[in-house]
Amino acid sequence: MKRVLDRDFDSEFPAKENKYFHHYDDEEDEELVSIQLIDLIPHHDYQKLMIKKFECQQKGKALWSRRREEALNCYNYIPIEFRKDKKYVSNFLRKANVLITPYKPILHITDMIDEELLKDEEIILDFANYNLKNCSRFNRGSILSDLLNGERRDVGLKFLAMHYEEYRQFTDEYGFSSDDIMFMVKQNGLILEIFTNHRSCRDIVREAVQQNPSVLDLMCNNYIYKEVFLEAIDRRTDFGSSFSIPNNLIEDRDVVLKVVEKHGVALEQVSETFKSDREIVLTSIRNNGLALRYANKIFLTDKEIVREGLCANGSILNFLCNEYKNDRELVLMAVRSNSFAFQYAAEHLHNDREIILETLKNPYAFVVEVARDLGLLENRELAIQIVRHNGLLIQYLPYSLMKDTDIMMIALKNMNFTGSKTLFTYFRGDFQKILLSQIGAEFSICMECLKKDIETLIHACEAPFKEEAMIEGLRLYKEKALYYLPFLSISSSNIEFFKRAIKVFGGVLEFAPMELKSNREVVLDAIRQFGRSIFYSNIMDRELIIEAACQNLSTLHDTIGFIGYQYYDEIEELVAVQTGQCFRFNKEIFQKRIDYEYFGANFLF
């Protein structure tokens, strides 16, 4: 059949009429088919508008996607435009650390998203996890009870499998069947830790170790089939201190050989027969040199095995006889494997330049002190290599190198503190004095220290660049930095400093001179940075309240009294449309937000 557009009806049409074809013959001279062709070349205004609308909606979708990626790392609230998006809501619930409730009224977070999402299994589970994280321990039982007694018992079982440690005392209340246990084991094999009476079921145990090979740690006192155990060992990559070979397999050589191949120090658990088996011992120390500690003493004189052990972990030098600790070749081999082996070498080898330099490739405090005392650290390049590996070692360098600004900068960039230690609590002695003097004299050192420790602001109080340090502190630490502002004794007449600081963090308005607190432009700058700055200003009106609410919606409840509560809903809606912040999910406001910010783009959720 030729194209209808050709207006040529000589070709035969199907003889039978149907709803898709109309039959024409030579005698019929009735109406011809009328077709109107419209291209997208903008001859007419309405066509231009259609094209413009299409382009705007495409821009809106692109903007929504970009904003969504940016907002995925924001856990203060869920913008209304993402409250129908399952992936976004799920991500928020998994990563948010505090229960999101507004000042008025107190709402559960379920009121903040589209009700359709609350029917989704994944979201139900995420909500349960979220509530568990934020509720008191007295309410934990009700979360599990609601799930197990509700329509989605399967979600309750998944939830219990994830949080079995929190619900040990509840396991007898619900009468779980073998099918329930199997279902939970498929989610988390470690559930067998609390369901001990099911550890004898072969199918359940097999499923558990397939799901998580660490289940083996629970089975040391239980009978376990050899093939199930070996299958789990093959799949296991990490072994903790709680791992034990099951009692019914501890005398099986094939099992022992397989275990020490993956977990060398398991040699400690086996019988003396296996500890004297050369193949088993050699296999174990190739995996972990420390296994040599548990081998039969006859192997401590076997140089091949000792070499294998030192290559695997040089620190076993500590457990070897003095003959080996005096052997320069073996000590060199040990420190190449583990620099900590240096401290176990014979004392006369602590003066060996080659051994020290080899150890300094992975330096630690003891060897750096030894090298310094031997005068080996006068080399500036070697000192840089050491602090680049671990900046904390700068305190063991010669005094002249500790004062080197370049070396100090490299060290600061490579410092990592653990526990409660900070830049100003970790160091003592000469280096601490040098560091404090450099903070007040060198701008670059001060800025680098500030990245590590906010206490730098106190030590910069006499520095000529203390204003710059404070502004950088505000940029890095926001509200926390305000505590240190009075220590810097910055004059209230320094108007330019306060204007700059307010643009970095609006909370500085609290300490600003009165003339700035009455300056509308400055107050607006402060509020746009930190909504609650409105409480430090000397002026308050509708525009400022709206600006504050747009930056932080919670300020609305505390400020609305100044202009009247009759405007609360109006301003709340205005803020929601302009910023996406709102307390409740509302479909009308959602659509207004999409129309306002995203050009009315259509989304499929």
pLDDT of 100 above 90 = no
Mean pLDDT over 398-414 rounds to 94
Mean pLDDT over 577-595 rounds to 91
- Rounded CA separation 129/135 (Å): 10
Mean pLDDT over 362-386 rounds to 89
Under the banding of pLDDT at 50, 70 and 90, the label for residue 331 is: very high
Mean pLDDT over 437-458 rounds to 95
Would you say residue 325 lies in a domain?
A: no
The pLDDT score that the predictor gives to residue 550 is: 92
Between residues 53 and 490, which one has the greater pLDDT? 490
The pLDDT score that the predictor gives to residue 410 is: 96
Amino acid present at 443: F
- Rounded CA separation 117/107 (Å): 17
Would you say residue 149 lies in a domain?
A: no
Per-residue pLDDT reduced to its tens digit, 340-367: 999 999 999 998 989 998 999 889 888 9
Long-range contacts of range 247-253, CB-CB < 8 Å, 24 or more positions apart? Answer: 247/220, 247/221, 248/223, 248/224, 249/224, 252/226, 253/277, 253/280
Residues 6+ apart with CB under 8 A from 14: 21, 23
Mean pLDDT over 567-581 rounds to 92
Under the banding of pLDDT at 50, 70 and 90, the label for residue 186 is: very high
- Rounded CA separation 358/338 (Å): 10
Q: Are 518 and 541 in contact (CB under 8 A)?
A: no
pLDDT of 95 above 60 = yes
The pLDDT score that the predictor gives to residue 9 is: 36
Per-residue pLDDT reduced to its tens digit, 257-275: 999 999 999 999 999 999 9
pLDDT of 168 above 90 = no
Would you say residue 425 lies in a domain?
A: yes
Both structure tokens of 130:
């979220």
Per-residue pLDDT reduced to its tens digit, 101-132: 333 333 456 777 888 888 888 988 888 888 88
The pLDDT score that the predictor gives to residue 28 is: 47
Mean pLDDT over 62-77 rounds to 82
Under the banding of pLDDT at 50, 70 and 90, the label for residue 392 is: very high
- Rounded CA separation 550/558 (Å): 14
Both structure tokens of 196:
């001990």
What does pTM read for this prediction? 0.71
Q: What is the DSSP letter of 83?
A: T
Would you say residue 303 lies in a domain?
A: no
Mean pLDDT over 488-501 rounds to 94
Kindly report the number of other CB atoms within 10 A of residue 423's CB atom. Answer: 22
Q: How many domains does the chain have?
A: 1
Kindly report the number of other CB atoms within 10 A of residue 592's CB atom. Answer: 18
**588 burial type by CB count under 10 A (0-12 exposed, 13-18 middle, 19+ buried):** exposed
pLDDT of 11 above 50 = no
Amino acid present at 140: R
The pLDDT score that the predictor gives to residue 223 is: 84
Q: % helix / strand / coil in the chain, to the nearest 5?
A: 65, 0, 35
Between residues 267 and 169, which one has the greater pLDDT? 267
The pLDDT score that the predictor gives to residue 499 is: 96
Q: Are 527 and 534 in contact (CB under 8 A)?
A: yes
pLDDT mean across residues, the chain: 86
Question: Residue for token digits 């035969």?
Answer: 12
pLDDT of 563 above 70 = yes
pLDDT of 173 above 80 = no
Q: Which bin fits 478, alpha (ψ -120 to 50), beta or left (φ > 0)?
A: left
- Rounded CA separation 486/331 (Å): 57
- Rounded CA separation 87/66 (Å): 15
Under the banding of pLDDT at 50, 70 and 90, the label for residue 133 is: confident
Q: Which domain holds residue 454?
A: 419-490
* Three-class DSSP category at 421: coil
The pLDDT score that the predictor gives to residue 16 is: 40
Residues 6+ apart with CB under 8 A from 567: 542, 560
Between residues 433 and 135, which one has the greater pLDDT? 433
- Rounded CA separation 317/306 (Å): 9
- Rounded CA separation 256/418 (Å): 38
The pLDDT score that the predictor gives to residue 419 is: 83
Under the banding of pLDDT at 50, 70 and 90, the label for residue 25 is: very low
The pLDDT score that the predictor gives to residue 98 is: 47
The pLDDT score that the predictor gives to residue 40 is: 53
Q: Are 321 and 295 in contact (CB under 8 A)?
A: no
Would you say residue 470 lies in a domain?
A: yes
Both structure tokens of 129:
């996890």
Q: Are 184 and 204 in contact (CB under 8 A)?
A: no
Under the banding of pLDDT at 50, 70 and 90, the label for residue 479 is: very high
Would you say residue 484 lies in a domain?
A: yes
The pLDDT score that the predictor gives to residue 470 is: 97
Would you say residue 479 lies in a domain?
A: yes
Would you say residue 440 lies in a domain?
A: yes
Between residues 427 and 172, which one has the greater pLDDT? 427
Mean pLDDT over 196-223 rounds to 87
Q: Which bin fits 7, alpha (ψ -120 to 50), beta or left (φ > 0)?
A: left
